[in-house]
Amino acid sequence: MTLKKGKILIAKPSIIGDVSFNRAIILIVDHSNEGSIGFILNKPMDFELGDLIPEIKSNFPIYNGGPVQQDNLYFIHKLPKLIPDSIEISEGLYWSGNFEKVSKLITAGKINQAEIRFFLGYSGWDVDQLNSELDSNTWILSENNYQDKIIQEVDPSFWKKKMLDMGGEYSLWSNAPENPSYN
């Protein structure tokens, strides 16, 4: 399988204990000869969009997108006709765009949580870094079989579901404690 935008990275059980990527499911939103960018989809934070931007009266959850630039807000969505300057990830799925327009649409109740997901920070890799991590079995590269529905499909238990789907030794890992020292 070829690494490209729109694919999903599933953290291998071997990185359990890694603060940033333990049990992570990452959507690759960009992959080029300059490197790769993705967002962790399954790690909600303890606050909402309205907590970060009080003028937007919203309870949309914020997710930990990754360890890079955690003071910046990012988003993926499936509304390119409503959000100018969107960047296509794959069919029906986009990232970025005009945030002022997003703010107005949320305030007007024209965007729901199944159509957009917000992140603080992102996951980034230099040119060959992600390929090297794939070669060393840190990640499982997977198709995004959910397409644009991935926004509503991925929840905190998604990693465990993927481990069970893969079966075999992965099924055993699905029940391992998130922090091995709790065992």
pLDDT of the residue at 131: 93
Is 178 a residue whose pLDDT tops 80?
no
| 169 vs 143, higher pLDDT | 143
Which of 5-19, 101-115, 154-168 bottoms out in mean pLDDT, i.e. has the lowest? 5-19
Q: Two tokens at 43?
A: 């790690």
| Two structure tokens written together for 20 | 């940033």
Give the range of the structural domain holding residue 17, as residue numbers without chain letter: 8-176
Tell me if 88 is assigned to some domain.
yes
Per the domain annotation, does 27 fall within a domain? yes
Query: Has residue 53 got a pLDDT over 60?
Result: yes
- Predicted confidence (pLDDT) per residue in 140-161, tens digit: 999 999 999 999 999 999 999 9
Instruction: State the pLDDT at residue 182.
Output: 54
Within-domain flag for 183: no
Domain assignment present for 182: no
Report the mean per-residue pLDDT for the chain: 92
Whole-number percent of the chain with pLDDT over 70: 95
Residue 55 lies in a domain: yes
Domain of 129, CATH number, reads: 3.40.1740.10
24-40 b/e with 16+ CB inside 10 Å = b?
Answer: bbbbbbbbeeeebbbbb
Percent of residues, the chain, with pLDDT higher than 90: 82
Looking at the 3D structure of the chain, how many domains does it have? Answer: 1
Residue 1 lies in a domain: no
Three-state DSSP at 138 gives coil
pLDDT tens readout for residues 99-113: 999 999 999 999 999
More confident residue, 3 or 178: 3
pLDDT for 57 beyond 90: no
Whether 2 is in a domain gets the answer: no
**181 is a domain residue:** no
- Any residues with CB less than 8 A from the CB of 89 and at least 6 apart, and which? 5, 6, 27, 28, 29, 30, 76, 95
